[in-house]
Amino acid sequence: MADTKSTLMTEGSVWKKMVAFAIPVFIGQLFQQLYNTADSLIVGNFSGSTALAAVSSSGNLIFLITGFFGGVSMGAGVVIANYIGARDRERTQTAVHTFISLSLVAGVILMLIGIFGAPIILRWLDTPEEVMPLSVRYFRIYFAGSLGFVMYNTFLGILQAAGDSKHPLYYLIISSVTNIVLDLALVAGFGFGVGAAAFATAVSQFLSAILCMFRLLRIEEDYRFIPSKLCMDGPTVRKIIKYGIPSGLQNSIIGFANAIVQSYINYFGAAAMAGHGAYSKIEGFAFLPITCFTMALTTFIGQNIGAKKTDRVKKGALFGTACSVILAAAMGLLMYAFAPVVIRAFDSNPEAIAFGVDRMRTCSLFYCFLAFSHAMAAMFRGHGRANVPMFIMLICWCVIRVTILAVSGMINRTIMTVNWVYPITWMCSTCVFIVYFLVFFRKHMGEAA
């Protein structure tokens, strides 16, 4: 089991193990963000502001639906990480094959929801009629390939639960390059528009899923994928639901709140949609240092909880949180300084640029609070307490965020309220996480939930 020993996070230097896991995740997420951004960059420059608005208006809605399944993958990864840390081969195998079976079913359901529900859901968000046909086309084609997205996240969750973040990096690089080449050929070269951009993304997602699957088929470790062992083990399903559903709901809560925010942005027209959509793509890069260390935190804590190594759990939590916050703050300063340059890369329309720059300069200096909240959520998730961040984010990032927008909308609806609602709720969740940790959780840090 040489490969497992080299990636197992229950042994060796805490910071070296976390950094060794986080760096490939960072690079991989960078490439993933690049191919997500490629759609908007190429569509905005070659198909115009209306097409960019169509892609942007679908973004939060896509995250609302796919975020749920991505969150379930993170929660299921905790179950697998616990078994790997405990060196329990039989339960690891059962968890891996149950998880893959569940994901196959979920991928088909998601595809049907996306294809048939697109017009209804987009109308709920008050998508302007001028943008609606293109938004529906992008949404439907994207979700026709959603099985690839779901299975990629499933295989990725299994590999990362074992501490392997390098092979997913290689596969993401390949799929990212594929997506960008297809975007350039189909949108920029042949002028096929937003449908071609969605098709390119779907193809790249299937490619990354297939590459990850081949990796799991070839390895000789406890978490190897053997198709004949696909199963639906009742106790394992319940455990995956216990850990995975709260994480999935957490992502969906964020996506739902952002979808409500998108409906407020839509009120200000296509230029606002394009400018804020461009910002959202760039904001994804600011999430990279947050994402890489929060993933490392979840895997590190999950494995060490399974191995009952309390001291390593505490050291890893402190190191991962500090790195995430510091890197996010630095990224925020860079984005504040270069806001006009990066927004202009997506759209040359001065009005759209102004909307995007205002949003970026309002939010970017508060990324440290966003990073802290996500780090705490990852820590609780790895500990098996995924319901804690779910409830905190439900209150702060959904209820409070939507309430602020609703009240301000009745008094005086302005785009500045939309800009500020994010930093306000990030700071709110940070305060709640700190209070919960100090009052209720600190003494149980190294114990299994």
Q: 3-state DSSP call for residue 154?
A: helix
Helices (H), 163-287: 166-183, 194-218, 234-266, 270-286
Distance, in Å, from the CA atom of 204 to the CA atom of 210, rounded to the nearest integer, reads: 10
pLDDT score at 1: 40
In degrees, rounded to 5, the angle at the alpha carbon of residue 422 between the alpha carbons of residues 420 and 426 is: 125
Average pLDDT per block of 10 residues along the chain, 449 residues long? 60 90 84 70 71 68 73 85 90 95 90 84 76 83 87 91 88 87 85 82 91 94 93 91 84 78 86 88 82 88 88 91 93 94 88 95 95 93 87 92 88 89 96 90 64
> What are 397-429's pLDDT values in tens digits?
989 999 999 898 788 888 999 999 999 999 999
Rg (CA), the chain: 21
Which of 83, 73, 99, 85 has its CA nearest to residue 17?
85
The per-residue pLDDT for 90 is: 94
Q: What is the C-alpha separation between 127 and 46, in angstroms, rounded?
A: 22
CB 401 within 8 A of CB 257: yes
Q: How far apart are alpha carbons 321 and 374 in whole angstroms?
A: 9
Parse the chain into domains and list their residue ranges. 2-444
Measured CA to CA, the distance from residue 93 to residue 401 in angstroms comes to 41
User: Which two three-digit tokens encode residue 81?
Assistant: 């990480």
Closest CA to 55 of 224, 186, 223, 194: 194
Instruction: Calculate the alpha carbon distances from 441 to 91, 177, 324, 393, 447 in Å.
Output: 28, 44, 21, 17, 10
> Residue 267 has which token pair?
């009120």
